[in-house]
Amino acid sequence: MTDDTKVLDLIAQQDYEYGFVSDIESDTFAVGLSEDVIHRIVDRKCEPKFMLEWRLKAYRHWLTLQEPRWANLRFKPIDYQGISYYSSPKSMKDRPKSLDEVDPKLLETYRKLGIPLHEQQKLAGVAVDAIFDSVSVATTFKDQLAKAGVIFCPFSEALKEYPELIKQYLGTVVPYRDNFFAALNAAVFSDGSFVYIPKGVHCPMELSTYFRINAANTGQFERTLIIAEEGSYVSYLEGCTAPMRDENQLHAAVVELIALDHAQIKYATVQNWYLGDEQGRGGIYNFVTKRGVCRGAYSKIAWTQVETGSAITWKYPSVILRGDHSVGEFYSVALTRHYQQADTGTKMVHLGNHTRSHIMSKGISAGHGQNTYRGLVRVAPNAVGVRNYTQCDSMLIGDQCAAYTFPCIECKQQAHLEHEASIAKIGEEQLFYCQQRGLDSENAIAMMVNGFCKPVFDKLPMEFAVEAFKLLEVSLEGAVG
Amino acid sequence: MLEIRDLTVAIDGESTPILKGLNLSINSGKVHAIMGPNGSGKSTLSHVLAGHTGYSVLQGSIQFMGQDLLVLAPEERAILGIFLAFQYPVAIPGINNMYFLKEACNRIRQGRHEKSLDAVDFLAQVRTHLKQIGLDESFLKRSLNDGFSGGEKKSNEILQMLMLQPKLAILDETDSGLDIDALQAISKVINQQRTPQRSWLLVTHYQRLLSYIQPDYVHILYKGRIVKTGDHNLALRLEKEGYGWLQAEATHTVEGHD
Amino acid sequence: MVMDRQQADWQAHCQGLLQQIGCREATWLKDWRHQHLEQALALSFPNRRHEIWRYTDMTAWRSADLSLSLPLEALRAYQNTIHKETVLAQLLKMPSVYRAVFYNGHLQQTHTQDLPSQAIISNWTTLLQQNPELVQDICTRLQYKESAQLFKSLNYALMQDGLLIYLPKGVQLKQPIVMVSLHKVGEKSTAPTLSCNQHWIYLEEGAKAVVWQVSIGLDAQNNIAYYHNVATDIQLARGAQLTHYQLQSHTQQAQHLSMQRVELQRDSQLEQHSIALGGRLARQEDQIILQGEGAQACVSGLTVTMGCQQVDHDLNIQHIAPHTTSKTTCKAIAAQRSKSVFKGGIHICPHAHGTQAHLQNTNLLLDPTAEINTKPELNIENNDVQCSHGAVVGSVDQEAKHYLQSRGLSKQEAYRLLVNAFAKDRLQAIHHPSIYSVTEQMTLDKLTRIAELNLS
């Protein structure tokens, strides 16, 4: 594998490699949030009128809500008036028509990140949409996708080109009333990715979005919407990084997935936002609402996530299983080290008959890291023949870390539901055994972690599985003395 | 090959030693058996030789192939040629048995400046050895020692030994947990592996193993010291009379052989 | 505004209840009651928006026009009913036991013949007269133990009576102690009554006891509810061993709330078996604190619900000291439109090295209208542990049922057999033969009723 063939290249470096700040002139709103700010976002992006109304409704609703505190997380209060809600590289004001017009500094940034935006640097079969601070800067392979009828473009562009589709689906899976951060996102989100797979189309390549926060004091609020029509298939991957800064930055994204009859969506995340330093200073606050709905019969949504970054992770990718015989899956590896805290898991809501779900969560805690699995499996009164299997394993490395498992089963119909959890550790005995067979302790840890996570990595697209493994391996270097 | 002098060892953080000035020399190609009642320090000795961090060496030295063993990390000792077949091999769920074996094999070969085995050669070797021990190939697909029966664990240790080709093989209670057929099969393999370049340290509570693998020397470890050394007849005497008579003889210490 | 009004009514109501308690009590006790009532009223009433009350609606406790059960009325009623209820015969005549019987929260009789000297089995209203300092001392120690909890504070404020079991160092009782709590709505009364009990079980170093705590609702046909709030404080000193059997068979109208706290010192052992069959809303909160090295707790539970019933079991095990172990096996059977709620929290503190904790919750959902909510939780703050939990919700295995039918059993018989088989291991875990036989009989009666209703 050569260096320029991978989206998440360079990630396998010991320190946080993506901590650089790009010196790019940007057009950034002054800090603060008000109806005026929302008007300005809508103006700046020339959005249709229905969006303004929707955003204002969301904002007014948000004002009535309190920041949720039920999660197993401790963090300093967020000053919502101390954040800038819009930042865009200046040269993007008049969107470039082609990559040649993109600011070379911006392209340099992506080169450093290992994201090839130039189509000639072909990443085999992966189309990329790159989001820098609040706006999408470039999307690759558009023409090739268009031939197949697949729409893959920045959200802002979709609002102009396909307003009817957006109007029909936006907020149907995650309404702005859903929660505090979803309301905030609806009010101020600036861009994101939009994917539409027409009936019967098997998307010809992996789709990928790459997120980067650059400017200081900005929040990132992107929104992704994926619609898979009857009998279609799509596999999608997102990756994230941010500069190292001493203050905490907020990321509050929303992802909505809609799968119609027999459609299949695979959504993978490799999250590597800046995690803060060894003392727990700085790092991204990652409050994300991700939900998919299996609307059609025999549809399937699978979430796979590898969470290694962020100071705080609050994230529960969920599936509403509405269509009969639909399937929801959740595969997760979450690593916490330094002072990272992750409260993550899933909700599987079984509304349709014979719906099935499978949850596999692997939490690794090292250093002072805290890892919480929080899950809900709900069976509605009318859903017959439901099955769920949940497996939830924790691995502890060192003696300062903690693991929590909070599953919840709500069952209002005869069903077959199973939850199992176990705790493993990398302790001296395991290390000694491996060392006696000639492996040094870092090889041994890498091997054990890989073994532990393999069932989840197997669910990632192949080229990313390797990266994800390297990412973990690097993050854990020196975790055991 | 191995020269242990005045070895005094305690469990890390404790002051009462388990091994109290142990002396032992092992030459190339010889088979030494260490016998002794429970708690005499047999397992401590094998763990210290392999470099377990849970013990502190209070006194004494260990030379192996002319090198000071005590300054080396466990994996460096493994590369040098020390292999410990554990009494209780740990189970590590999630690590594939074959993957582990291949990784260990190549790490050690690299350390010895030998060429790594490619997948084809590796598999060919493993298959030969599996057959020798009488194991099925599906054995390789399981997680390392996870859910293995006592006998399977012990067989797996021997399989690893065959692949790693050590200079000194320490077998810690390898016979326990094995039925008679498995014991015979393993003994046969071990006897085939006896070469003038390879030495053996068999740690055992019973003499059963020794009727299949004839030792050159039998040592009795008692209260942290080697109190008696002899040939196979000594093991037979222990079998007949138990360890009780040692109490009386414990006073005069017999040093290890050359 | 509505909330404020409700809160005000509730406060006034509780103040009224406190006034019903005898005014001749010692000053410290009066103060103690008032202090805890204030504490209770300062706390907001459980709301389903709170995570711990998400599945449980306690509003009946606030909206009912309760009056406290009175000692004299209890005595008369006890004498009138005692001979009529055959179900009691077996219980009250059980040979070779120490016994204490409460009726609507007031002690009626004790049987403590041959109790070793210095051991105490006595109710605390009696002790208040004989040894008031002891009661005061226990009460004072109790109140600082944990943060305020509404129903516990209310229990402290309104407690009417309770049993003190005290075994001095090394005393090992050969006979079990049977605590029977009988409940019945007064003959003429139309308003629901509330009884509040407070039991203390203290085992000194090396002491050993078997305690059977039974709550039974009489006159199951009566439609009027009664309320029972019971708090139990258990202390096991070094090496003490307690086997604690519990059987709860209230009427289908009863509201039952049991809060139990067990503290285990070094090498002490608790074995607990709870069988919960009755109550409109019955909630058992168990807090087990493994405070000393080597302490062990083994918890077994079975709940069976039908009709409008809801039974909660909220279990919380804290491993504070190293090398402590806990093993929990809880089962629930939910039939018709009933609801079963289980929460099993295991907390392993940073210093509790070498801990072993295993929890399994298995549920049988017999009807599409029934509901099961289960939340097994692990909090691990230490890496030297062996820990697992599991939860399963399933229904009667159709294959197995078919198999039994193919061997000649009727559909009904096959169904009954499979449901009984599910409950069986929890019953068989009860080792005392007489306790087993009563518990089994009552459980099987209920399971038979479920089987009949299900197929009629």
C113 shares contact with chain A (CB less than 8 Å):
no
**Cβ–Cβ contacts within 10 Å for residue A298, how many?**
17
Choose from A362, A395, A425, A437 for mutation: most chain B CBs within 10 A.
A437
d(Cα C147, Cα C169) in Å, to the nearest integer?
30
C77, pLDDT greater than 90: no
Residue A138 has pLDDT above 80, yes or no: no
Question: Residue A114 pLDDT more than 60?
Answer: no
With a cut of 70, say whether residue A480 has pLDDT above it: no
Average of per-residue pLDDT across A24-35: 79
Instruction: Determine whether the interchain pair B75/A452 forms a contact, defined as Cβ–Cβ distance below 8 Å.
Output: no
DSSP annotation string for C258-283: EEEEEEE-TT-EEEEEEEE---SEEE
Put simply, the answer to whether C383 touches A396 (Cβ < 8 Å) is yes
pLDDT at A4: 25
Angstrom distance (rounded) from CA C176 to CA C98: 6
Inter-chain CB proximity A415 and C373 less than 8 Å: no
C-alpha angle A3-A6-A8 in degrees, rounded to nearest 5: 105
Token duo for residue A305: 């996530």
Residues of C in contact with A417 (CB under 8 A): 391-394
CB contact under 8 A, A448 and B86: no
First to last CA, chain C: 48
The answer, for A411 touching chain C at a CB cutoff of 8 Å, is yes
Decide if pLDDT at A92 tops 70.
no
Of C329 and A466, the structure prediction assigns the larger pLDDT to C329
Chain C: residue whose CA lies nearest to A422: C388
pLDDT at C3 > cutoff 90: no
- Other Cβ atoms less than 10 A from the Cβ of A422: the count is 17
- For residue B53, the chain A residues in CB contact (below 8 A) are 428, 432
CB contact under 8 A, A437 and B96: no
pLDDT at A72 over 60: yes
Higher pLDDT, B234 or C76: B234
- Residue A237 has what pLDDT? 84
Q: Which of A429, A430, A437 sits opposite B78 (nearest CB)?
A: A437
Q: Classify C322 as helix, strand or coil.
A: coil
**A389 to chain C: which residues are within 8 Å by CB?**
none
What are residue A49's phi and psi, to 5 degrees?
-65, -35
- Which chain A residues touch B168 with a CB distance below 8 Å? none
**A33-42, A242-251, A411-420, C315-324: which is most confident:** C315-324
User: What integer is the mean pLDDT of C306-318?
Assistant: 96
Size of interface A-B (CB pairs under 8 A): 75
Among A70, A407, A423, beta carbon nearest to C375: A407
CA A387 vs CA A319, A456, B106, B134, C143: distances in Å: 14, 20, 44, 41, 46
| Least reliable range by pLDDT among A378-387, A444-453, B63-72, B128-137 | A444-453
Look at chain C and report how many structural domains it folds into. Answer: 1
Q: Which amino acid is at B154?
A: K
Please say whether the beta carbons of A413 and C368 come within 8 A: yes
Does C51 contact chain A (CB < 8 Å)? yes
B100 to A447: CB separation less than 8 angstroms, yes or no: yes
Tell me the shortest Cα–Cα distance from C232 to chain A, in angstroms. 28
CB-based contact, A353 to chain C, within 8 Å: no
Name the residue among B78, B94, B96 with its Cβ closest to that of A435.
B78
> Helix, strand or coil for residue C391?
strand
- Report CA-CA distances (Å) from B13 to A399, B9, B16, B54, B61: 18, 11, 10, 9, 20
Instruction: Report the range of poorest mean pLDDT among A102-106, A393-397, A465-469, C46-50.
Output: A102-106
Record the tokens describing residue A302, joined without a space.
């699978």
- What pLDDT is stored for residue B179 in this prediction? 81
Q: Taking CB atoms and an 8 Å limit, are A402 and C379 in contact across chains?
A: yes
Handedness of CA C238, C239, C240, C246 (dihedral sign): positive
**Residue B253: band (very low, low, confident or very high) from pLDDT cuts 50, 70, 90:** very low
Minimum distance, in Å, between the CA of residue B53 and any CA atom of chain A: 8
Distance from CA of A391 to the nearest CA of C (A): 9
B101 contacts B160 by C-beta, under 8 angstroms: yes
pLDDT at A9 over 50: no
Mutation to test the C interface, candidates A414, A429, A430, most C Cβ within 10 Å: A414
Q: What Å distances lie between residue C170 and C105, C176, C269, CA to CA? A: 31, 16, 14
Angle at A340 between CA A337 and CA A345, to 5 degrees: 100
| Nearest-CA distance A389 → chain C (Å) | 9
Mean pLDDT of A67-76: 88
The span from the CA of A168 to the CA of A173, in Å, is 11
Average pLDDT of C340-366?
A: 92
Letter for the amino acid at A27? D
Residues of A in contact with B95 (CB under 8 A): 447-448, 450-451
ipTM of the complex: 0.86
Q: What is the pLDDT of residues C253-262, one digit of tens each?
A: 999 999 999 9
Percent above pLDDT 90 for chain C? 56
- For every residue of chain A, which 3-state class applies, written as one string? CCHHHCCCCCCCCCCCCCCCCCCCCEEECCCCCCHHHHHHHHHHCCCCHHHHHHHHHHHHHHHCCCCCCCCCCCCCCCCHHHCECCEEEHHHCCCCCCHHHCCHHHHHHHHHHCCCCCCCCCCCCEEEEEEECCEEEEECCHHHHHHHCCEEEEHHHHHHHCHHHHHHHCCCCCCCCCCHHHHHHHHHCCECEEEEECCCCECCCEEEEEEECCCCCECECEEEEEEECCCCEEEEEEEEECCCCCCEEEECCEEEEEECCCCEEEEEEEECCCCCCCCCCCEEEEEEEEEEEECCCCCEEEEEEEECCCCEEEECCEEEECCCCCEEEEEEEEEECCCCEEEEEEEEEECCCCCEEEEEEEEEEECCCEEEEEEEEEECCCCCCEEEEEEEEEEEECCCCEEEEEEEEEECCCEEEEEEEEEEECCHHHHHHHHHCCCCHHHHHHHHHHHHHHHHHCCCCHHHHHHHHHHHHHHCCCCCC
Specify the higher pLDDT residue, C114 or A231.
Answer: A231
**Kind of pairing, strands B199-204 and C106-111?**
unpaired
Q: Are C432 and C176 in contact (CB under 8 A)?
A: yes
Domain boundaries, position C67? 2-455
Say how far apart CA C72 and CA C106 lie, in whole Å: 9
The single-letter DSSP state of residue B257 is P
User: What is the rounded average pLDDT of the residues B109-122?
Assistant: 90
Averaged pLDDT, C49-60: 88
Least confident interval from B18-27, B153-162, C80-89: C80-89
**Beta-bridge partners for A377:** A348, A409
Per the structure block, which two tokens stand in for A236?
A: 């999608």
Mean pLDDT of A60-74: 90
Tokens, residue A283: 């790092």
Residue A26 pLDDT level (bands cut at 50, 70, 90): low
Rounded CA separation B98/B127 (Å): 11
Pairing state between β C296-305 and C269-276: parallel
Q: Which of B83, B214, B107 is nearest to B158 (CA)?
A: B83
Interface partners of A (3+ CB pairs, < 8 Å)?
B, C
Task: Tell me the average pLDDT of chain A.
Answer: 82
Work out how many CB contacts closer than 8 A connect A with C. Answer: 105
Tokens representing C393 are 């919700």
C385-419: per-residue pLDDT in tens? 888 888 999 988 888 888 888 887 888 888 888 99
pLDDT of A245 over the 60 cut? yes
What's the CA gap between C445 and C448, in Å, rounded?
5
Which chains reach chain C with 3 or more Cβ–Cβ distances below 8 angstroms? A
- B143-178 per-position pLDDT tens digit: 888 878 888 889 999 999 999 999 999 999 888 778
Nearest-angstrom CA–CA distance, A96 and A103: 9
Please tell me the distance from the alpha carbon of residue B62 to that of residue B82, in angstroms, as a whole number. 13
Residue numbers in A near C388 (CB within 8 A): 420-423
The mean per-residue pLDDT over the stretch A275-280 comes to 80
Determine, for residues A451 and B93 on separate chains, whether the beta-carbon distance falls below 8 Å.
yes
> What does the pLDDT average to over C288-317?
96
Task: Reply yes or no on whether the pLDDT at A260 is more than 50.
Answer: yes
pLDDT tier for residue C426 given thresholds of 50, 70 and 90: very high
Distance CA A389, CA A379 (A): 13
Q: How confident is the model at residue C50 (pLDDT cuts 50, 70, 90)?
A: confident
Report, as an integer, the average pLDDT of A317-337: 95
pLDDT for A46 beyond 70 = yes
Choose among B90, B14, B85: nearest CA to B54: B14
The least confident of A56-60, A246-250, C47-51, C157-161 is A246-250
Chain B residues within an 8 Å CB radius of A448: 92, 94-95
Contact A397, A370 (CB under 8 A): no
**Nearest CA-CA distance, residue A28 and chain C, Å:** 40
- The answer to whether the beta carbons of residues A421 and C388 sit under 8 Å apart is yes
Do the Cβ atoms of B104 and A428 come within 8 Å? no
A290 closest CA partner among A249, A347, A234, A233 = A347
pLDDT band for position C456 (cuts 50, 70, 90): low
List Cβ neighbours of C84 (8 Å cut-off, separation of 6 or more). Answer: none
Task: Count the residues in chain C.
Answer: 456
Whether residue B57 has pLDDT greater than 60: yes
pLDDT mean over C324-336: 95
Minimum mean pLDDT range among A203-217, A265-279, B169-183, C11-25 = A203-217
**A contacts of B84 (beta carbons < 8 Å):** 436
pLDDT at res. C8:
85
Q: For chain A, how big is the Rg over CA atoms in Å?
A: 21
Percent of chain C with pLDDT over 70: 96
**Which residues of chain A are within 8 Å of residue B77 when distances are taken between CB atoms?**
436
Range with the poorest average pLDDT among A359-368, A458-467, C163-172, C338-347: A458-467
pLDDT of residue C241: 95
Assign B4 to helix, strand or coil: strand
- The answer, yes or no, to whether residue A277 has pLDDT greater than 90, is no
Q: Over pLDDT 90: what percentage of chain A?
A: 41
Which span out of B17-31, C138-152, C386-400, C403-417 was modeled with the highest average pLDDT? B17-31
Counting CB pairs under 8 A, whether chains B and A reach 3 or more, is yes
Q: Name the nearest CA neighbour of A379 among A424, A407, A347.
A: A347
pTM (predicted TM-score): 0.81
A22 — pLDDT class (breaks 50, 70, 90): low
- pLDDT, average across residues A308-312: 87
By DSSP bridging, strand A341-350 and strand A312-315 are parallel
**Residue listed under structure tokens 């505090």:** A180
With 0-12 CB in 10 A as exposed, 13-18 as middle and 19+ as buried, what is C401? middle
Question: How many other C-beta atoms are found inside a 10 Å radius of the C-beta of residue C357?
Answer: 25
E strands within C150-192?
Answer: 163-167, 177-183
- Range name among A164-178, A221-235, B163-177, C10-24 with the lowest pLDDT average: C10-24
Which one of A429, A439, A452 has the shortest CB-CB distance to B103? A439
Q: Does residue B94 register a pLDDT over 80? A: no
Burial of C335 (0-12, 13-18, 19+ CB in 10 A): buried
- The string of DSSP letters for C202-264 reads EE-TT-EEEEEEEEEE--TT----EEEEEEEEEEE-TT-EEEEEEEEE--TT-EEEEEEEEEE
The confidence score (pLDDT) of residue A14 equals 35
C-alpha C402/C-alpha C410 separation (Å) is: 10
Residue A42 reports pLDDT greater than 70: yes
Q: How far is C44 from chain A (nearest CA, A)?
A: 18
Quick check: C387 contacting A, CB < 8 Å?
yes
In this predicted structure, what is the pLDDT of residue B258? 37
Q: CA–CA separation, A388 vs A378, rounded Å?
A: 10
The pLDDT assigned to C187 comes to 65
Question: Which residues of chain A are within 8 Å of residue C383 when distances are taken between CB atoms?
Answer: 396-399, 401, 425, 427
The confidence score (pLDDT) of residue A10 equals 27
pLDDT greater than 80 at residue C188: no
Residue-wise pLDDT for A176-202, tens only, equals: 999 999 999 999 998 888 999 999 999
Residues of C in contact with A418 (CB under 8 A): 390-392
Nearest CB neighbour to B89, from listed A428, A433, A443: A433
> Is A385 an 8 Å CB contact of chain C?
no
Which two structure tokens, joined as six digits, stand for C397?
A: 């295995």
Mean pLDDT of C159-175: 94
